[in-house]
Structure 1
Amino acid sequence: MRRVSVVFDRSRQDAHPLHRAVIDAATVSTATVLTWDASRPTPTTLSRLDAPPSVVKPLVNDLSAVDDYALSDDDGATYAFVQQEQFEMAPRLADAVAASGILALPPITYREDGTIKFTFVGTHDALQTLFEKLETAGDYEITSVGEYGSPAGRCRLTPRQREALKVAVSVGYYDVPRTGSMSEVGATLDCSESTASELVRKAQAAVVTGFVE
């Protein structure tokens, strides 16, 4: 099973209504659709916009497809629970996804520059069919490809690296201010300080890379 992240470049005319609002709004740069249910009579989405509710409320009010909504403040950003009159996706993109037999995974990110980030999962052949269909759906760029295994995607830790991170946390190496040392990590793992440091650095690199991707 394969996992692929794709960034689409959409024109404002072809964009989802929420995406058009992000493109037009000077005070909102991203809207991240965290989860959705398109099977309801009023399709429902939960999104996070990087602007306060005072900015998001008039933006959502102006969306013609919105049937009802509720907003929650998130320290300067906003969660938007939105019920829509219909679930909207560009027809050619929707057809490409439906014909390929793959699944779109949350989140979907709408950006102010007109691009959208999707992550898809499916068999190798299904994803190959998707790419063939996307040739007629608009410009896109594949940003990462890998085996699907966990929400962290390509974050892979060896058992020893995972143990090293757990020990580093337990001795206080990540406390602020730091209360533990790498020599303590090595002593607990029964290895040298330099070996412990290498294990922790590699584990950190895998975790951070997986988070960013």
Structure 2
Amino acid sequence: MKSVRLVVEYDAETMHPAHELVCESPRIEREYLLEGRADDGVETILSYVEGDLEPYERTLEATSGLLEYDLRPTGDGGFFVYARSELGDSGRSLERAFDQETIVVVPPIEFRPDRTMRLTLIGHPEDLQATIDNFPPGIDATVSWIGDHAQAVEGRLTDRQREALQVAWDRGYYDVPREGDLETVAEELGITTATASTLLRRAEARLVEDALEWNRQG
């Protein structure tokens, strides 16, 4: 088995309106797809969004093919999204691209303001290549790294979480005694203190979980 990290870029015709909002609105920072499935042309997803709920809900309500949704604020600068939508042509084509026998998508999938989606896949090399080759027109994939499937553990951290950890490390947030504070980290990242805290706590939880799992396997 191999793992690959993909950077997927959408054109204007294939980008989902909610992702467009992430790119265009200063009130929405990131969206992370935590779980998702497609069945008979209907996609069901659970996401976490960093930002304000109001503009996201307005965009969601105006989106064609939306069947139902539920938004739940977390109280720390973000909210969860449960939504069911009918897939369009590009969505169905993308679903077929991922429908390879050995492919596993490692969550979360990150939607970024630079009009890209970042995700990690695990599978046989031929199925990984088939997935990339079958992406529909208007959606281009670039491989940022290839490794053994154990390296996909790194893919469990989003790029934004890794960025937050790097800034926190560089500013002495993890020094003993601590030299940097959360406010400094938040200021450098250009986000609120609450959002910075959430990013670091989620990243730390993933790293601890992975370390404990590795210890159990060893």
| Cα pair distance change 1:11/1:29, threshold 3 Å | farther
- Describe how 1:145-184 pairs up with structure 2 within 5 A: 145-149=146-150, 152-153=153-154
Partner of 1:37: helix, strand, or coil? strand
Deviation at 1:95, TM superposition (A): 4.0
**Corresponding residue for residue 168 of structure 2:** none
Q: Distance in 2 between matches of 1:42 and 1:92?
A: 13
| Cα pair distance change 1:136/1:80, threshold 3 Å | closer
Q: Distance in 1 between matches of 2:41 and 2:131?
A: 28
| Unaligned segments of structure 2, at least 5 residues | 157-173, 179-203, 212-218
**Corresponding residue for residue 193 of structure 1:** none
Residue 32 of structure 1 aligns to which amino acid in structure 2?
A: Y
Q: Which structure has the larger Rg?
A: 1
Q: Distance in 2 between matches of 1:92 and 1:51?
A: 30
**TM-score normalised by L of structure 2:** 0.59
**Corresponding residue for residue 55 of structure 1:** 55
Deviates more, 1:18-27 or 1:120-129: 18-27
**Corresponding residue for residue 159 of structure 2:** none
**Corresponding residue for residue 182 of structure 2:** none
**Corresponding residue for residue 26 of structure 1:** 26
**Corresponding residue for residue 104 of structure 2:** 103
Deviation at 1:4, TM superposition (A): 0.9
**Corresponding residue for residue 44 of structure 1:** 44
Deviation at 1:33, TM superposition (A): 0.9
Residue 152 of structure 1 aligns to which amino acid in structure 2?
A: V
| Cα pair distance change 1:146/1:42, threshold 3 Å | same
Partner of 1:14: helix, strand, or coil? coil
Deviation at 1:138, TM superposition (A): 4.3
Could you list the per-position Cα deviations for residues 42-101 of structure 1 after superposition, in whole angstroms to 9, with x for gaps in the alignment? 532111111132333223222222222111222111111112234775455444333675
Q: Distance in 1 between matches of 2:14 and 2:32?
A: 18
Deviation at 1:142, TM superposition (A): 1.5
Q: Distance in 2 between matches of 1:22 and 1:88?
A: 22
Deviation at 1:146, TM superposition (A): 1.9
| Cα pair distance change 1:64/1:128, threshold 3 Å | closer
| Cα pair distance change 1:72/1:88, threshold 3 Å | farther
Residue 105 of structure 1 aligns to which amino acid in structure 2?
A: V
Could you list the per-position Cα deviations for residues 120-142 of structure 1 after superposition, in whole angstroms to 9, with x for gaps in the alignment? 11112222333444596643321
Deviation at 1:12, TM superposition (A): 1.9
Partner of 1:15: helix, strand, or coil? coil
| Unaligned segments of structure 1, at least 5 residues | 156-173, 179-203
Q: Distance in 2 between matches of 1:53 and 1:139?
A: 29
**Corresponding residue for residue 2 of structure 2:** 2
Q: Distance in 1 between matches of 2:106 and 2:89?
A: 16
Runs of 4 or more consecutive aligned structure 1 residues displaced over 6 Å after TM superposition: 174-178
- Describe how 1:202-213 pairs up with structure 2 within 5 A: none
Q: CA RMSD in A?
A: 3.7
**Corresponding residue for residue 144 of structure 2:** 143
Are 2:11 and 1:11 aligned? yes
Q: Distance in 2 between matches of 1:11 and 1:42?
A: 22
